[in-house]
């Protein structure tokens, strides 16, 4: 008789006439095993409780809320079926605020991806290759994290509002330089610029660290094959090796596309001009800026709709990156 | 075609120097507002009103002295109007940053230890849930969070916020870092301790966790620095409290009501950042050596 035994797995014999089954070995409930499980679950009890309350229950409550109507103070008035979902979909087309918020969220993400990530990887490569001055550059790039990105954000705002027009007037004689934050024609552009500009500070630490993990032999073998040090080495040798790190940033960035507020809260608290709203900021203003809970069911319904679209897309992106991304094999 | 161009030596060298030049321009652009902040803080208010960009003609440190007594905010709470002075806000900052960073990192650390080192029913489910939570975007849960936090008495309670700060401990980049770190620690140390009669708690606290002290310290410091500058939580969840970041945020937003000029605001920013700069500089090597982000598998 041919039997295939693998640890703790149930195997059915391929020859049905034998009619034998290998039973799965379950761990016996000895005192040792009970003590082990007691320890494991005593450690995990609180984290699991927090997960059940702040993830499972919060999201379950959000789903229920989407079908309700609530009063100013949050009492449930009644059940309204799919009305909140219908209102949200209708408002995406009819409400300028919602459509601008959605559009701006995508613009912010694409700017970060196409401009930000491209240059982050190129700059990181040269930091990894330790060109002349790279130590100083590394230190300066870390400054916002050292000082606090919050303070840098406020200083940026004060500089752009207060000093930038005077700087252009002093240096170039340009007298009518606009206020790039309070002038609504430029507000969102400034927000995009700031978001991309600040995104370099974390990336220019993470990517070079990931590149430093690449074995020297791998890069050496590339040079032997004729790959030149520089952007050619970056594309052919380095990028495939750090692709898992890039994947992580791509996936987490994509999944926060509709929740990101950018620097809007720091710049404006809850008083940003409508032209600069993002979807994340819209939700922030509706919850933090109002004592009323009347809109909560409508917001919950909108959130569910967006989650239903973004969640599968995020998994699709993850699958595509793993399936079609470059191989790390040496 | 681009890759063929990169193979061309002349083109490759040109692109290299263009990229480095752009990197220098970016680096210089980071310095401009920071340098402006420093010399504006040492500028008399009158000079600032004449020209907000020029270097000071009369350098002064008086703004640092005059801003400290100004740096106080009034917040309307259930207890009435409460005045927060700079020392009150500093104390709140320390408690908030240290409490949040320690509680969240500690629970993430021990969760990662158990999941990395022990085989038990449900282990893979918990790990996969953690990856799922990291990846799947949940949009629009803020209203529900507000309802739940108010119902549980967490809203407007700093203590409750600190003890519930871990959130989903078996998810997130820090969990993955600890998990990977523990997987690299040989289990033989624990086995030797078990043979000597040590229990699971003793092995965890006396053998395994001490090995993680450098990594834990680095991540704790990052968490501390991040939470030190957290003003968002005070706007959203803790309206009756004010840390230094939130205080500074309100102060600069409403500076004219506090009688503060831009040089004084800049001086206030510099005072606020002194603790974080000292902390970061003294632990810089530890932080940068322990940070490497890997991939998401599963």
Spatial contact of B291 and B218, defined as CB atoms under 8 Å apart: yes
Residues B149 and B193 in one domain: yes
State percent of chain A over pLDDT 90: 53
Check residue A329 and give its pLDDT: 55
Q: Which two tokens stand for residue A18?
A: 């034998």
Residues B44 and B24 in one domain: yes
Q: CATH number, domain at B161?
A: 1.10.3720.10
Q: Which of B2, B25, B144 to mutate to test the interface with A (most CBs of A within 10 A)?
A: B144
User: Given an 8 Å threshold on Cβ–Cβ distance, is B24 in contact with A133?
Assistant: yes
Most confident by average pLDDT, A129-143, A274-288, B8-22, B222-236: A274-288
Residues B119 and B84 in one domain: yes
- For range A75-87, the mean pLDDT: 94
- How many residues are given for chain B? 298
Of A50, A213, A310, the CB nearest to B168: A50
Return the residue of B nearest to A288 by Cα. Answer: B236
Res B194 pLDDT > 70: yes
> What residues make up the domain containing B96?
68-290
Q: For residue A53, which residues of chain B lie inside 8 Å, CB to CB? A: 148, 152
Q: Which of A27, A31, A44, A75 to mutate to test the interface with B (most CBs of B within 10 A)?
A: A44
Check residue A6 and give its pLDDT: 46
Task: Write down the mean pLDDT value for chain A.
Answer: 87
Q: CA-CA distances (angstroms) from residue B287 to A89, A216, A224, B190? A: 46, 24, 35, 27
Residues B146 and B55 in one domain: no
Q: For residue A248, which residues of chain B lie inside 8 Å, CB to CB? A: 173, 293-296
User: Given an 8 Å threshold on Cβ–Cβ distance, is B269 in contact with A232?
Assistant: no
Residues B60 and B75 in one domain: no
Check residue B293 and give its pLDDT: 47
User: Given an 8 Å threshold on Cβ–Cβ distance, is A287 in contact with B249?
Assistant: no
Q: How many CB pairs under 8 A join A and B?
A: 295
Q: Phi and psi dihedrals of B231, rounded to 5?
A: -110, -20
Residues B167 and B184 in one domain: yes
Interchain CB contact of B131 with A (< 8 Å):
no
Q: Could you state, in order of their start, the residue ranges of all structural domains in chain A?
A: 3-65, 97-289
Q: Which of A57, A87, A163 to mutate to test the interface with B (most CBs of B within 10 A)?
A: A163
Residues B22 and B100 in one domain: no
Check residue B56 and give its pLDDT: 94
Residues B73 and B6 in one domain: no
b/e burial code for range B208-247 (CB count within 10 A of at least 16 → b): bbeebeebbebbbbbbbbbbbbbbbbbbbbbbebbbbbbb
Task: Give residues with Cβ within 8 angstroms of A39, minimum separation 6.
Answer: B199, B200, B201
User: Given an 8 Å threshold on Cβ–Cβ distance, is B53 in contact with A283?
Assistant: no
Question: Given CA atoms B127, B128, B134, B140 in this order, what sign does their dihedral have?
Answer: negative
Instruction: Tell which B residues from 211 to 230 touch A, by Cβ distance under 8 Å.
Output: 225, 228-229
Q: How far apart are CA A248 and CA B296, in angstroms?
A: 6
DSSP bridge partners of A11: A22
Q: How far apart are CA A163 and CA A160, in angstroms?
A: 6
Residues B10 and B146 in one domain: no
- Is residue B296 included in any domain, yes or no? no
- For range B12-23, the mean pLDDT: 87
Return the residue of A nearest to B9 by Cα. Answer: A228
Residues B170 and B274 in one domain: yes
Q: At CA B224, angle to CA A290 and CA B182, rounded to 5?
A: 115
Q: pLDDT, tens digit, for every residue of A33-76?
A: 899 999 999 999 999 999 999 999 999 999 999 999 999 888 99
- Is residue B52 included in any domain, yes or no? yes
The total number of structural domains that make up chain B: 2
- Is residue B60 included in any domain, yes or no? yes
Q: Which two tokens stand for residue A188?
A: 């969102």
DSSP bridge partners of B83: B74
User: Given an 8 Å threshold on Cβ–Cβ distance, is B148 in contact with A307?
Assistant: no
Q: Where a domain ends, among B29, B44, B66?
A: B66
- Is residue B297 included in any domain, yes or no? no
Res A25 pLDDT > 60: no
Check residue A144 and give its pLDDT: 85
Return the residue of B nearest to A303 by Cα. Answer: B140
Residues B133 and B260 in one domain: yes
- For range A22-31, the mean pLDDT: 64
Of A59, A154, A314, the CB nearest to B135: A314
Q: Which of A148, A149, A214 to mutate to test the interface with B (most CBs of B within 10 A)?
A: A148
Interchain CB contact of B238 with A (< 8 Å):
no
State ipTM.
0.84
Which long-range contacts (C-beta less than 8 Å, at least 24 apart) are formed by B226-234?
B226/B101, B227/B96, B227/B97, B227/B100, B227/B101, B228/A148, B228/B93, B228/B96, B228/B97, B228/B275, B228/B276, B229/A148, B229/A149, B229/A150, B229/A151, B229/B276, B230/B96, B230/B97, B230/B100, B231/A150, B231/A266, B232/A265, B233/B161
Q: How far apart are CA A202 and CA A123, in angstroms?
A: 12
Of B13, B137, B248, the CB nearest to A314: B137
Q: For residue B32, which residues of chain A lie inside 8 Å, CB to CB? A: 159
pTM given for the model: 0.84
CATH of domain A97-289: 1.10.3720.10
Return the residue of B nearest to A266 by Cα. Answer: B249
Q: pLDDT, tens digit, for every residue of B75-128?
A: 887 778 889 998 899 999 999 999 999 999 999 999 999 999 999 989 999 999
Q: Where a domain ends, among B17, B48, B66?
A: B66
Interchain CB contact of B7 with A (< 8 Å):
yes
Q: Where a domain ends, among B32, B48, B66?
A: B66
Q: Which two tokens stand for residue A241?
A: 């090796």
Check residue A143 and give its pLDDT: 85
């Amino acid at each position: 008789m041919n039997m295939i035994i693998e640890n703790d797995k149930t195997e059915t014999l391929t020859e049905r006439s034998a009619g034998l089954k290998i039973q799965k070995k379950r761990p016996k409930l000895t005192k040792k095993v009970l003590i082990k499980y007691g320890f494991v679950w005593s450690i995990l009890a609180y984290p699991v409780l927090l997960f059940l309350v702040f993830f499972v229950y919060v999201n379950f409550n959000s789903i229920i809320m989407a079908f309700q109507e609530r009063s100013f103070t949050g009492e449930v008035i009644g059940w309204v079926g799919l009305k909140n979902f219908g209102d949200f979909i209708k408002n995406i087309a009819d409400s300028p605020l919602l459509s601008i918020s959605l559009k701006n969220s995508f613009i912010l993400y694409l700017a970060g991806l196409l401009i930000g990530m491209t240059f982050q990887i190129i700059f990181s490569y040269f930091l990894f290759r330790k060109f002349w001055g790279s130590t100083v550059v590394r230190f300066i790039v870390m400054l916002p994290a050292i000082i606090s990105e919050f303070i840098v954000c406020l200083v940026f705002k004060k500089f752009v509002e207060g000093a930038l027009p005077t700087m252009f007037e002093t240096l170039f004689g340009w007298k009518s330089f606009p206020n790039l934050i309070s002038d609504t024609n430029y507000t969102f552009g400034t927000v995009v610029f700031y978001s991309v500009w600040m995104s370099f500070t974390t990336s220019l630490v993470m990517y070079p660290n990931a590149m430093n993990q690449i074995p020297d032999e791998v890069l050496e073998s590339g040079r032997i094959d004729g790959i030149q040090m520089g952007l050619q080495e970056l594309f052919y040798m380095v990028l495939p090796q750090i692709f898992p790190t890039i994947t992580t940033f791509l996936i987490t960035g994509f999944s926060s596309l509709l929740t990101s507020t950018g620097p809007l809260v720091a710049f404006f608290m809850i008083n940003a001009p409508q032209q600069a709203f993002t979807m994340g900021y819209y939700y922030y203003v509706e919850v933090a800026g109002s004592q009323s809970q009347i809109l909560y069911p409508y917001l919950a319904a909108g959130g569910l709709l967006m989650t239903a679209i973004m969640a599968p897309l995020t998994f699709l992106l993850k699958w595509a990156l793993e399936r079609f991304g470059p191989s790390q094999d040496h | 075609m681009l890759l063929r161009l990169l193979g061309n030596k002349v083109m490759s060298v040109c692109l290299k120097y263009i990229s480095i030049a752009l990197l220098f321009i970016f680096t210089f652009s980071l310095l401009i507002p920071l340098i402006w902040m420093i010399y504006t803080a040492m500028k008399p208010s009158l000079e600032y009103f004449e020209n907000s960009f020029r270097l000071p003609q009369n350098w002064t440190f008086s703004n640092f002295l005059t801003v400290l007594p100004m740096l106080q905010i009034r917040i309307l709470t259930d207890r009435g109007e409460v005045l927060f002075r700079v020392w009150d806000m500093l104390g709140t900052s320390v408690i908030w940053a240290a409490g949040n960073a320690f509680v969240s990192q500690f629970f993430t650390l021990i969760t990662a230890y158990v999941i990395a080192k022990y085989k038990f029913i449900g282990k893979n489910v918990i790990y996969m849930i953690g990856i799922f939570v990291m990846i799947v975007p949940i949009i629009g849960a803020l209203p529900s969070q507000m309802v739940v936090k108010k119902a549980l008495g967490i809203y407007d309670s700093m203590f409750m916020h600190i003890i519930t700060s871990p959130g989903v401990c078996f998810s997130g980049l820090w969990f993955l870092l600890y998990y990977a770190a523990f997987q690299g620690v040989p289990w033989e140390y624990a086995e030797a301790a078990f043979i000597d009669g040590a229990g699971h708690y003793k092995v965890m606290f006396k053998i395994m966790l001490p090995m993680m002290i450098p990594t834990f310290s680095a991540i704790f410091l990052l968490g501390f620095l991040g939470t030190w500058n957290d003003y968002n939580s005070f706007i959203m969840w803790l309206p009756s409290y004010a840390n230094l970041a939130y205080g500074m945020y309100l102060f600069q937003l409403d500076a004219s009501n506090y009688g503060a000029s831009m040089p004084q605001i800049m001086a206030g920013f510099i005072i606020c950042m002194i603790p974080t700069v000292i902390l970061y500089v003294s632990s810089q090597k530890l932080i940068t050596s322990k940070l490497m982000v890997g991939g998401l598998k599963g």
